[in-house]
Chain A
């Protein structure tokens, strides 16, 4: 940033050359991604592809078709989409709620084991979740055995998957939220306490509104994590009835029949649509967050 500001003022050939080099490097490095998206877009609307060229059954260039999108008429796709949505939103709510409470406590309150809890959380965040799969399986089995709760959060339920995803995402959420709370002045909180608010009201009415941008960031990131989750849903849901979109895509690449890659591409694009819409509406907010959140309130 600082370098940019400095060089921006030098207006010469050397400067332009350096800019050109930077742009060329950037352009070259994103070519693989761009090609990937281009292929995805072309493949979804064509019979088959050779490289980036759409081909019809006879091998001529062309062969545009909507056949790959026929899956939208299948109720199953809407079912797994709904499941994906439930997992993603469940994570947004669960992670947002739990980490804003835990983050507040860790940022503001002094209690026995606070330091230990903080370092523990960090360790858990770094812990690879694959190694936990088997133990989580037993935990979910145990929950399944519970009356009532087992039906919602047990093994082979969307709720169970969401629950596991929430707990795996909590360490990061708690640390993020703690960081946001740390940036709020103590004086504001003290003022509210003196004004007569309870600790809970201070949290809800005074502090939470200050960290809204942070909370939004966390919500966006957890939503994306939940929406594209594969490992946990694939492991803890058997059959496609309760699985989500990524697992469904994997199912399309099944062993029993020849994989229709163009259809896989179509479902992939289908999964991307909400994310694209989402980014379109939140990119300003996201940029805000990346540049350091709000400063000095207002």
Chain B
């Protein structure tokens, strides 16, 4: 099913929850709504579900305005963060509930519930109550209940937030896989950019009720259009260095600040040269420990070392209280206080206007 939001807004008195959001979800697409908590992404989802009524704007399913269609007639399945299972009903009754309300024959209900439960790997738990299940099993029941009525649209409201890290990884893959197999249009609300990046075909970045960007994960990662997107997408987050100037000297572009002076590729440098003090963004993976001193290295002192297992996350203090993070091989045994020289790979460097916080490269 194709979903379209047109100038969708939700206000409670003077409080603006969702501010003029327009976007389209293609048939079979997996879209993530990504943003910090309280940004309006869940409100948007609940409007699509029909729980909240939009203050203004339109919601279209396959080109038909559904603003006044009650939730039960929208043919959607929804999975909640709290799972929202009915605690007084068995797993079977939980999954069967949407079908019972459709007044389907008992035999068909039993068959469909069994099929969905088997698919979700909970076929042996049908007689249990939700309280007797683990978090992951409850999540599967919730997903089964959403899938059993063959919905045209699946809505997820932070479904993995209550699971432990390992299970989250498993369920992430499983949801993605089911969605692909069944080809159901899906909207997935999350504040976890890793979830959004790994699962979604396209990501809608929302902040303060406004749509910041709506693009593929690659596009958001490679060409962030605002400072917010740059800082929100990517883990560990992009290093943002304020008060940087880009100048042209002898045909080479240099980005410089009190802490360092490094060359920039001309196709990026020419767009921002001579614009005064701007914000430079460089991802941790584009910073490496310099093999030898070539005059273009960035010197700093190791401030904190956080072992992540495969890598160490190193915080480095540069001149003038500038801090950057990068990932280093644990075997290098970097320790706080060590003086190091780093190499900045500026081929993917980003630049932002400090006033408008918009990208100077892609804005």
Contact = CB atoms under 8 A, between A and B. Distances in A.
B323 interface: no
A190 B145 CA distance: 13
Nearest to A193: B71
A109 interface: no
A185 B88 contact: no
Contacts of B130: 297-298
A101 interface: no
B34 interface: no
Contacts of A258: none
Nearest to B132: A298
A191 B149 CA distance: 13
A187 B82 contact: yes
Interface string A210-223: 10000000000000
Contact of B129 (A192, A194, A298): A298
A185 B70 CA distance: 20
A209 interface: yes
B84 A190 contact: yes
A98 to B, nearest CB: 23
A37 to B, nearest CB: 40
A195 interface: yes
B164 to A, nearest CB: 18
B76 interface: yes
Contacts of A105: none
Interface stretch (B97-105, B217-225, B229-237, B311-319): B97-105
Contacts of B46: 190
A188 B130 CA distance: 13
A213 to B, nearest CB: 12
Contact of B72 (A195, A206, A209): A195
A193 B80 CA distance: 13
Given A192-B97, A195-B97, A297-B130, A185 B82 contact: yes
B309 to A, nearest CB: 34
A197 interface: yes
A214 to B, nearest CB: 14
Nearest to B80: A187
A115 interface: no
B240 interface: no
B144 interface: no
B78 A190 contact: yes
A191 B131 contact: no
Interface bracket on B? 20 to 34
A196 interface: yes
A82 to B, nearest CB: 35
A196 B98 CA distance: 6
Given A201-B101, A298-B129, A193 B72 contact: yes
Max chain A Cβ within 10 angstroms of own Cβ: one of B74, B86, B98, B131: B86
Given A190-B49, A297-B87, A195 B98 contact: yes
A250 B91 CA distance: 56
B87 A191 contact: no
A187 B81 contact: yes
A196 B73 CA distance: 7
A209 B129 CA distance: 14
B212 to A, nearest CB: 26
A191 B101 contact: no
B51 A193 contact: yes
Contact of A197 (B81, B82, B101, B131): B101
Interface string B328-361: 0000000000000000000000000000000000
B76 to A, nearest CB: 6
Contact of A206 (B82, B86, B129): B86
B80 A190 contact: yes
Contacts of B77: 194
Interface string A197-234: 11001000010011000000000000000000000000
Contact of B131 (A188, A193, A195, A298): A298
A210 B86 CA distance: 9
Interface of B: 46, 49-51, 70-72, 74, 76-78, 80-82, 84-88, 97-98, 101-102, 129-131, 145, 149, 157
15 contacts: A185-B82, A187-B84, A187-B157, A190-B49, A190-B84, A191-B80, A191-B84, A191-B145, A193-B71, A194-B74, A194-B78, A195-B101, A195-B145, A197-B72, A298-B87
Given A190-B49, A196-B72, 16 more contacts: A187-B81, A187-B82, A188-B84, A188-B86, A190-B84, A193-B71, A194-B74, A195-B145, A195-B149, A196-B101, A196-B149, A198-B72, A210-B87, A297-B130, A298-B130, A298-B131
